[in-house]
Structures are given as structure tokens and as C-alpha cells.
Structure 1
């Protein structure tokens, strides 16, 4: 079982705090740290944020939210083993050729420690500010994934789609493993189907206001229908019962998630604050180490 810390860049947007977080996470034995994304924060929006009961984004327009790829570059340079993931990057808002270049470069410089967590977005007003259509963003995301993988797979790559087309172009450096794992995030059946159809993993985001467990079966069925091995789609799940001060038996909570098929558990870094040095080290000794040695 692997363990990740979520909400790294918005919890620790400052350079020293970010380095402190990832060095402590690495020392404690965590597998990875996640970074979230929004390019802009509209002052006025009617879109419903799906990961909080009130339907509103946490924070306010002046909240510091570093770009995830740049933040991950900073913290990757401060570590040697820890992996990093965008959780999630709003894929339809990005140019897929530029993103493929950025992600491959980061993976290359970090020694192959990057995963690209993607979502299709929910904040329509953000799409409007960027001048990108909100409609058909799922189809756009599917195409972008295929285009990026084509660029990563080899030189003289070609792709012909509805939203992106290129002919015999090369993008270097390549990722260390000739591709970057793409983890599909979201809380909808469409996201679960996308993960099964084309994802290397599925991350039903922490805080979803729906029961995400039925989505796991949808992932598996979709993978089978696409001729893929469902076991190849890694499940990253939240685990509230494993958190400090949850009042639950953390080992039992982890075992329940293992029984659900989880390969990695994502825990909000805020649950370990303010004394990160103590709480992360204790979690590493009491929870991470026993499962790493299992």
C-alpha cells in the first residue's frame, strides 16, 4: 500500500514551507505529494464546487495557489525519491502539445517521478475567462490524452483529431519511461468510465459529495469493455479513518480500503498540521512502515 499527501501547493504555497513539507513526507516514507490547480478564481460564479457541502471553493480570490507544474518542479528538486502528481490538472484548459513538453521535461529532470492527474473541470466561469469552450470538454480531454501519448512515444509523431492535429513532429526530452502515468480524477460516472477506458489510475477526489464506491465497479467494467486489464488501473482513495485524531482504528481503515482495491491512499496534509515533524514521522512509523514491509 502506498500513501500520498494531498493539497500540497495550496497548503504550502511559499518556497520554504513547500520544501519543508516534501522533505518531511519523504523522510516519513510517503509515496507521493499531490498539487491542485485553478488558473483563475472568478469573483462571481454560479458553478457548484462538487467537493464541499456548501458548493463553494475554499479560500478566496487572494488565496495563493501556485501553478502545479512549477510548484512540483520546485519540490522535486528538493527530494530524491518522492513522487509527485497533479490532482488534478484541468486538462481541457491546456494546449496538449505545450503540456506534453512541460510534463515530459519535469519527468525527465526528476528522474521519472511525475504522474499527470487530470480532470475535465467544473468551473464554467474559469473556462469562459480563458476563452475555452466548456461544452464537450470531456471529448477534448480524451483527445488530448491520446495526442500527448503519441508525442511521448516517439519522434515524428502524427495525430489527427477534432481538436488537435499534427503531422510528423518531435517533442523532446521524452519521459523516462517513454510515457507519464495518467490518473483520471473526478466523482462522476463519466470520469470512472474514462479511467477504465484510458487511465493508468483513478482518483475519485477527496470530499466528493456522492458515494464514490460504486464508481470503482464502473472503472473495472469500462476497462474490461476496452479490452484492458482492470488491475492495471490503480485506485487512489481517500481514507478518513486513517487520519490523526479521527477516532477510528487507522489499521482497520487502511485494511478496508485495501479490500476495496486501493493501491494508494490520499490524505489531506492539513490533517497532520500544525506539528508536521511529529505527526508525519509518527504516521510513517505506525502506518506506512508496517505496510511497506508487509
Structure 2
């Protein structure tokens, strides 16, 4: 899977979605393949995009304007000498904002640094926040987004599942899809819509791993959309590992009904008891 800017924008243009679709979420780092060397930004990966002024952003702004879409796009971002894994939001009027991945998993720390903010963006029809890949393992992030007004969680991922072949890819895709189902709780406990997208296919290499090592960037795919009550609105249907688009209407009445529930969790919180959650991390 070649994740170059040109090919990805071409793919997006050839898959505009159905009439009336207004939001589209794309995978973590979808505009660049993974190219970990452990020695900084690799020379064979080109230059990372520069929100909001880079050429990748300008091309995506044109696409959003032509299709009247709000795009959530994953890319690596370089600021000074630091590289971030980020999601940018781009709408018909141009660049909206970016979210940086906060927690680094395993080898990501060799390339990336974590962000230091949990922003919420008003995109017109609703307020959204991004939760990037491994950050989804930290429910504090989605709870913070909900407390700050987010109604939709955009949760792109590039979850790795190890090498596969023609005989095993069906079971790999099934396993990855099943592992994504726990995202349902992020919707239910915050009464928010949740959109999960996961890369499908192979993207780049981690140079210091052997070719067949399980942590090479093989991605099993699997995307889901949940309503604020935890019900499933849409899911991928492919039985093999391949790119697939899913669509769902997000009804504001579903959101209002979930938030009006007498047992809406945010209304029953006891923050005076949660001090351990913000205690500085110490060695185990």
C-alpha cells in the first residue's frame, strides 16, 4: 500500500461518497507510509506536511471545497526538529485545525513525540475531537473531549496485526474487527458518536525489524460507527483485508436523547473522588 500524497488524494477524489455526505474520516498517517529508522525523519519518506500551509493541505482543501466535505486526515507533521502524528480537519472553507497523538506506543517513540492538548473543533453541524490510534486505550481522552463539548469522536487507527497470507487474511481481518468492538464503550459512556477507521494493507517498513516480524506495519482493516447509545450504525463488510468505505447518518436526535437520559454518566460524575487519575506517573 503506497501512501504517497499523490496516490491518496487521487483515491479520495475517485471515492467522493454519496450525495449529502458531509464528513469523512481517514486513517492514522494515511498521507504518508510508515518509515521508521530510529534516526529521525527518513530521507526516503519525503518531507512531512506542514499544516496549515503545506502542499498536501492545499490539495486536500481543494478536494473538500469541490466535494463540500469535512475531511479528517492523518499525517506526520514536523515542527522545528520534532515530528508529531496528527490528524488535520479540513472543510469547504479550508483548514480547521489539528490534533496531535498524545501517547506513543512501542517503536513510535523512536520517531514521534506526543502532543500536549486535547482540542475540540466546531465544524458547523457538530463539535468533534480526534483520538488517534493508541490514544483510544486512554478513556480519559474521550471523557475530556466530552466534557469540552465534543459530540463526535473521530478515532483513526493504524493497528498492526502481523504478517498474513492469502489463507490467513480472513481470520486476521476478523480478529482485528472484533478487537475494535470495545470502542462501543467510548460511545456509550460519553453519549457521543464514535467513528473508527483502521488502515488495511501494508504501509512502509520499520527498518530494524526483520521483514516477517509481527510488528511490521501490516494493518488488518476494520471500521465501525457507533451511536451515542452504543448501537452499531455501520461496519465494514469485506471478508478480506482491503480498503472499504462505510457511511452512516448521524442523527442529532439520537445525541440529544442519550444526553437527556437520567443516567447520562457525565451528569453523575464524582470528580472529587478521581484524584488518582491525575497523580503523576511513578515507576511501578
Instruction: Give the TM-score normalised by structure 2.
Output: 0.44
Of Structure 1 and Structure 2, which has the larger fraction of its residues in strand? 2
Of Structure 1 and Structure 2, which has the larger fraction of its residues in helix? 1
Which of structures 1 and 2 has the larger relative contact order (alpha carbons within 8 angstroms, sep 6+)? 1
Instruction: Give the TM-score normalised by structure 1.
Output: 0.43
